[in-house]
Amino acid sequence: MNSKVSRNVVKVVTVDRRLLTISLAVLANLLILVFATFAKADGHVTKSHGYSYFGGMKYSVDFKHLDYVNPNAPRGGEISTWAFGTFDSMNPYSRKGRAAALASVPFESLMSGTADEVGSLYGLLASEIEYPEDLSWVVFHMRPEARFSDGSAVTAEDAKFTYELFLNEGLPSYRAVLAQIVERAEVLGPHKIKYTFIAGSPERDRISLPGGLPVMSQAWFEKNGAGLEESRMEPAIGSGPYLLDTYEINRWVKYKRNPDYWGYDLAINQGRNNFDYIRYEYFADGNAAFEGFKSGAYTFKLENSSKTWATGYDFPALNDGFVIKKTLPDGGIATGQSFAMNLRRPQFGDIRVREALGHLFNFEWSNESLFYGQYARVNSFWENSDFAAKGKPTDGERALLEPLADKLPDGILTDDAVMAVSSGQRASDRKNLRAASALLDEAGWAVGDDGLRRNSKGQTLKIELLERSPAFDRVVLPFVENLKAVGVDAVYNRVDPAQYTDRTRNFDFDIITDQFPMSLEPGSGLKQYFGSQTADDSVFNSMGIKSEGIDALIDQVVNATEKDTLKTSVRALDRALRAYRFWVPQWYNATHRVAYWDMYEHPKSIAPYALGQLDYWWYDSEKADALKAAGILR
């Protein structure tokens, strides 16, 4: 049978009654043959409640709730957490302004993923989809009962309008991907929309791309003369379970659960969207945020400071049992956090310079002296997964890399996958300082009488490390000192969040700390992070890498149609990206470090790919009342 037929969810074959006289074994084989012939000859169309390119969806059409939720979780109460910096917009889809935390929460898409599967999508605004074996098109049957928050129906016209809105006004890097996959959108009825795909476009991304687009109200945009590119404080209306409630710019933003939300009875929503209110309090830095948590200014903290986790949780409310502190498992890929070098800057043009910088960040000393041993080192863009490249290329990787060897860094076929440089337990590792110095010498940056390195034009090797968070001072400053020790004219510049946003969006930086979150079924989104076509305007491609070899490997990943092929192609891409040495990998922790005032509950087993504190946790009103009665919380 054609391997693609296995993705079909509903398979019905009518058999002549005379076949009943045939043995069961022969009958089974004949049915397979009949179905395969029918699928090929007549263009069999699959109808399903969900979709997974590789097949094997976890949840059947009649599932009652997701396995990781408590379907009987009570609804009510408020959960509050914190956000860093400032905000001046409620439009999360524009590069203009700084959108408030959770600004995208009012919007739903046609389909939705889950936190315990990779690659599966289930109907949300759409109840059913249909598509042919060759995936040349897809039809979404939208739920007639779906409503925007103003009570108006969510229609196929709204879905088409939103698609065209993102195609014309979305982020340039996203527009480029969308235009390469979707040929056109057609409204077939009030609640029926068809997307036709461009021949030769990546199959794996076809259905998931339009299925994942948020659906917005055409009437609202036309009434308000609004666009997707503008910064505005009035949010567009959506169909989701939460609405903007109140806000004070740069101080807090609060969302409320919509009591008239249309989708509460959906199986995919059981045990979810449990809080009446979700609130974000804004703080200028992590220290101020922690003090706010201790005082009860907000009630849930996902701790990102190893120092605070190790030394700060010693205060009366915790010691008296009013605050819970614990770790929960995190099964996701590491975020790829790293110092990212802007390859648009001439000082990073020589790979030996980039390699030298990799010798000058001392993770081992930082982990022991600053992080209390809580972290592991990032080495791969798919760290903490089976997709990370290891050792020398496998035969499968070599087959992909050999035709591209002249378009990739030297040694790509023979060397081990590039690993982050290890250091000793002193902040300045002499061995690594010597190695970095030798590389800089080779690259033509000689040390002058003043101790600074200069090129043949007399220009110093000046590098600015740009940061916005005071919490990073203790991490970056030792790195800067090591840079200076080898003659780099290094500067550390911490700016306010608004300046940071402006400078990074305009690629006005040398080195920043960035993250490169990948997925276990990566697709066309890789072009936004690493593709040449979008490198000049993609906010995700902070380093601005442009490589024909990388582009070709991305295509291999995007076009992989089998899981084993996908894994091999991702490992080859990971190996090649690391070989460019445009990052200095930082660290990750495979657990969620959480602290919260003792009035929340969660299922015994946390979903592997999402902590879910705003999703499937819930409020315990009795515990909350006890805290208030004791005068602990207002």
- Tens of pLDDT, residue by residue over 458-476, are 999 999 999 999 989 999 9
Which phi and psi angles does 544 have, rounded to 5°? 70, 35
236, 216 Cβ separation under 8 angstroms: yes
What number is the average pLDDT over the span 11-22? 30
**Model confidence at 8: pLDDT above 80:** no
Q: How many residues are listed for the chain in this entry?
A: 634
Residue 633: pLDDT band with limits 50, 70, 90: confident
Q: What is the pLDDT of residue 634?
A: 74
**Model confidence at 295: pLDDT above 50:** yes
Q: What is the mean pLDDT of the chain?
A: 92
Q: What is the pLDDT of residue 591?
A: 95
- Domains within the chain, CATH numbers bracketed: 3-43 (no CATH), 78-224 (3.40.190.10), 242-332+590-629 (3.40.190.10), 338-588 (3.10.105.10)
**Model confidence at 50: pLDDT above 50:** yes
What number is the average pLDDT over the span 141-147? 98
Cβ atoms within 10 Å, residue 265: 9
DSSP state of 311: I
Residue 424: pLDDT band with limits 50, 70, 90: confident
Q: What percentage of the chain's residues is helix, strand, coil (to nearest 5)?
A: 30, 20, 50
**Model confidence at 172: pLDDT above 50:** yes
Picking from 579, 587, 511, the residue whose alpha carbon sits closest to that of residue 355 is: 579
Instruction: Mention every residue, 6+ apart, whose C-beta is less than 8 A from residue 121.
Output: 50, 51, 52, 111, 112, 113, 207, 208, 211, 212
Pairwise CA distance, residues 296 & 599, whole Å: 12
Alpha carbon 250 to chain centroid distance?
Answer: 25
Could you give the percent of the chain with pLDDT greater than 70?
93
- The pTM score is 0.88
Pairwise CA distance, residues 426 & 432, whole Å: 11
Helix (H) or strand (E) holding 398, with range, is: helix 395-401
Q: What is the pLDDT of residue 630?
A: 87
Residue 112: pLDDT band with limits 50, 70, 90: very high
**Model confidence at 138: pLDDT above 70:** yes
**Model confidence at 4: pLDDT above 60:** no
Alpha carbon 167 to chain centroid distance?
Answer: 21
Pairwise CA distance, residues 49 & 364, whole Å: 49
**Model confidence at 5: pLDDT above 70:** no
Q: What is the pLDDT of residue 382?
A: 97
**Model confidence at 134: pLDDT above 70:** yes
Q: What is the pLDDT of residue 25?
A: 36
**Model confidence at 307: pLDDT above 60:** yes
Picking from 80, 103, 106, 82, the residue whose alpha carbon sits closest to that of residue 92 is: 103
Residue 329: pLDDT band with limits 50, 70, 90: very high
Q: What is the pLDDT of residue 390?
A: 97
Q: Which two tokens stand for residue 264?
A: 């509460």
What number is the average pLDDT over the span 525-549? 95
Instruction: Mention every residue, 6+ apart, whose C-beta is less than 8 A from residue 17.
Output: none
Pairwise CA distance, residues 450 & 438, whole Å: 18
Query: CA distances (Å), 191 to each of 141, 257, 616, in order?
Result: 6, 25, 29
Picking from 442, 444, 382, the residue whose alpha carbon sits closest to that of residue 576 is: 382
What number is the average pLDDT over the span 355-371? 96
Q: Calculate helix-pair angle for 548-558, 563-579, nearest 10 degrees.
A: 160
Residue 372: pLDDT band with limits 50, 70, 90: very high
Amino acid at 113: G
Q: What is the pLDDT of residue 95?
A: 85
Could you give the percent of the chain with pLDDT greater than 90?
89
Pairwise CA distance, residues 388 & 518, whole Å: 11
Picking from 471, 565, 505, the residue whose alpha carbon sits closest to that of residue 203 is: 565
Q: What is the pLDDT of residue 350?
A: 98
Euclidean distance between the first and final Cα of the chain, in Å? Answer: 65
What number is the average pLDDT over the span 391-397? 97
Query: Which residues share a beta bridge with 17?
Result: none
Amino acid at 631: G
Q: What is the pLDDT of residue 360?
A: 97
Residue 180: pLDDT band with limits 50, 70, 90: very high
Residue 632: pLDDT band with limits 50, 70, 90: confident
Residue 19: pLDDT band with limits 50, 70, 90: very low
